[in-house]
Amino acid sequence: MQGVRVFVQHNRGACIINTCRMFSTTHHRAADQRSYKLVVVGGGTGGCSTAARFCHQLGKGKVAVIEPSETHYYQPLWTLVGGGIKTFKETVRSMKDVLPKECDWIKAKVTNFDPDNNTVVTSDGQKIKYDFMVVSMGMQLNFDQIPGALEALKNDPQVVSNYAPWTVEKTFPAIRNTRDGNAIFTFPNTPIKCAGAPQKIMYLAEEHFRKNGVRDKVTVLYNTALGVIFGVKKYAERLMKVVEKRHIKVNYRRNLIEVKSNKKEAVFENLDTGEKETFTYSMLHLTPPMSAPDELRQCKKLVNEAGYLEVNNDTLQSTRYPNIFSIGDCNSAPTSKTAAAVASQGGVVMKNLGALMNGKPMLKKYDGYTSCPLITSRGRCILAEFDYNGNPLETFPIDQGKERWSMYHLKADVLPFMYWNAMLTGHWNGPGFFRKAIRLGLSDGSIKKS
Ligand code: FAD
């Protein structure tokens, strides 16, 4: 196997903090070089669950997680925070409490990857060596690519975004303050995480306007850079019925290019004609352009042209370095980027990387499973689940394209519980097993496109 060596471990400067051992700028003494059997980059959804899986297998001191943030967020609940249904506090846990206690937490950013020497360099100058590495760095929010957006998010209470922890609590007050004019919801011209989230908050806002007697004075606009409302035909057809019934205006191929908060204006580019169009807003929910994090994009040896860590779509192994795998939003797997996808990818990486570590063949294949609970109101949700080919891959033997109360409660109450208690502890690999069990193993639940 290319480039994999075994290094002696010498963990100096360790500082025991409650659960996992934490190494940080303040606590580590010299820029010494440590080495681990497995280094996990990122302690978010993918990184934390991967570390838990491999700590179970490898034991104490063999796994390091490199993660700069003190806080772990359950981002899928931010839609409901923005909708005034859940509190931000419910989405937050301390990183030291969620990372497995058997791992070493290196509290820093990875600034450089050196895959030829099985080494990463951190923001505080440490060189960390690994036998194997899993990269799970998520996506970078590029608000700064839209002139005026950052300023508007900071200064205009009516410009909001559910996508960042520092803006999500602005959303519900802005919805409450909207009594007339245009309420605009945007979708950018880049891949994003949870492609349903920009419209879920729109449905919750529209319902609020209706229930509070201002709907006839508020125009609800969905300005999306895409040419369709959703990428999977079955769910797109159902969502079109929802927007028609609720008189929501969808403007396709419109990309937000500037926010002029002093004039309450949002400027869009028509991606087909190149023309600029200016809309006034009384409320603007913006979804920023996104990319893989800069530190990853800079390592041309690892990434594809778009800057995502290039993996084999089946095995999630790097196409160039066999001892590197990637899970989640920062990899190139051509599926919708969600925590649900991370769960399934985690199971695949656990099996394949586990096999590789033991010199066995990698047999597990990722089918692209991803899921998007499309909340359409307080108490109603379409549970989209699909694979690489856009074929629905539904867990329950009912039509999940219908707006359902049961799916709403799954999203609002059951999934958060499972996230904290099963997924982050490395025990949840997605619903594939249940999908087959419910159908007595006779079908995988996939519905082929007509
Ligand atoms: P993350 O969980 O974002 O973690 C990345 C980690 O990497 C972070 O902790 C970060 O600090 C760290 N990191 C970044 N750079 C570096 C570096 N240089 N060095 C070291 N560490 C670094 N998913 C669903 O399944 N269902 C939903 O309903 C849903 N709704 C969503 C709604 C919103 C508003 C948002 C924002 C997301 C939603 N998601 C949903 C998407 C889901 O949260 C993500 O897909 C998932 O968290 C991705 O996991 P990840 O590990 O790839 O990235």
Instruction: Please report the pLDDT score of residue 10 as a whole number.
Output: 32
Instruction: Determine whether the shortest distance from the Cβ of 69 to ligand 1 is under 6 A.
Output: yes
- Asked whether residue 132 carries a pLDDT value surpassing 50, the answer given is yes
Percent of the chain with pLDDT strictly greater than 90: 88
Number of the ligand 1 atom closest to the C-alpha atom of 48: 51
| 9-18 average pLDDT score | 32
Instruction: Determine whether the shortest distance from the Cβ of 328 to ligand 1 is under 6 A.
Output: yes
User: Cα-flanking dihedrals φ and ψ of residue 287, to 5°?
Assistant: -105, 120
- Asked whether residue 6 carries a pLDDT value surpassing 90, the answer given is no
User: In testing the pocket of ligand 1, which one of 106, 316, 338 has its CB within 8 Å of the most ligand atoms?
Assistant: 338
Distance 75 CA to ligand 1 centre (A): 7
Instruction: Determine whether the shortest distance from the Cβ of 109 to ligand 1 is under 6 A.
Output: yes
| 6-12 average pLDDT score | 30
> What is the per-residue pLDDT across 414-427, written as a single tens digit (0 to 9) for each?
999 999 999 999 99
Instruction: Determine whether the shortest distance from the Cβ of 338 to ligand 1 is under 6 A.
Output: yes
| 154-176 average pLDDT score | 98
> What is the per-residue pLDDT across 223-254, written as a single tens digit (0 to 9) for each?
999 999 999 999 999 999 999 999 999 999 99
Instruction: Determine whether the shortest distance from the Cβ of 134 to ligand 1 is under 6 A.
Output: no
Instruction: Please report the pLDDT score of residue 29 as a whole number.
Output: 41
- Asked whether residue 9 carries a pLDDT value surpassing 50, the answer given is no
> What is the per-residue pLDDT across 45-101, written as a single tens digit (0 to 9) for each?
999 999 999 998 999 999 999 999 999 999 999 999 999 999 999 999 999 999 999
Distance 193 CA to ligand 1 centre (A): 8
Establish whether 299 is a catalytic residue. no
Higher pLDDT, 411 or 2: 411
Q: Report residue 436's pLDDT band, with 50, 70 and 90 as the boundaries.
A: confident
Instruction: Determine whether the shortest distance from the Cβ of 208 to ligand 1 is under 6 A.
Output: no
The type of residue at 5 is: R
Nearby residues of 20 by Cβ (< 8 Å), 6 or more positions away: 65, 96, 99, 100, 101, 102, 103, 104, 105
Cα(310)–Cα(17) distance, integer angstroms: 35
| 350-371 average pLDDT score | 97
Cα(47)–Cα(105) distance, integer angstroms: 11
List the Cα angle 50/327/224 in 5-degree steps.
135
Distance 211 CA to ligand 1 centre (A): 33
User: In testing the pocket of ligand 1, which one of 77, 204, 329, 411 has its CB within 8 Å of the most ligand atoms?
Assistant: 329
> What is the per-residue pLDDT across 112-127, written as a single tens digit (0 to 9) for each?
999 999 999 999 999 9
- Asked whether residue 16 carries a pLDDT value surpassing 80, the answer given is no
Q: Report residue 332's pLDDT band, with 50, 70 and 90 as the boundaries.
A: very high
Distance 187 CA to ligand 1 centre (A): 18
- Asked whether residue 268 carries a pLDDT value surpassing 80, the answer given is yes
- Asked whether residue 25 carries a pLDDT value surpassing 50, the answer given is no
Contact indicator for 75, 118 with CB cutoff of 8 Å: no
Instruction: Please report the pLDDT score of residue 28 as a whole number.
Output: 43
User: In testing the pocket of ligand 1, which one of 130, 135, 172, 194 has its CB within 8 Å of the most ligand atoms?
Assistant: 194
> What is the per-residue pLDDT across 281-329, written as a single tens digit (0 to 9) for each?
999 999 999 999 999 999 999 999 999 999 999 999 999 999 999 999 9
Strand ranges (E), 78-179: 92-94, 104-107, 110-114, 119-122, 127-135, 140-141, 159-160
- Asked whether residue 5 carries a pLDDT value surpassing 90, the answer given is no
Q: State the catalytic residue, choosing from 20, 194, 330, 381.
A: 194
Alpha helices for 74-142 (secondary structure H)? 78-82, 95-98
Instruction: Please report the pLDDT score of residue 437 as a whole number.
Output: 85
Instruction: Determine whether the shortest distance from the Cβ of 373 to ligand 1 is under 6 A.
Output: yes
Establish whether 194 is a catalytic residue. yes
Instruction: Please report the pLDDT score of residue 439 as a whole number.
Output: 74
Cα(312)–Cα(326) distance, integer angstroms: 10
Instruction: Determine whether the shortest distance from the Cβ of 337 to ligand 1 is under 6 A.
Output: yes
Instruction: Determine whether the shortest distance from the Cβ of 45 to ligand 1 is under 6 A.
Output: yes
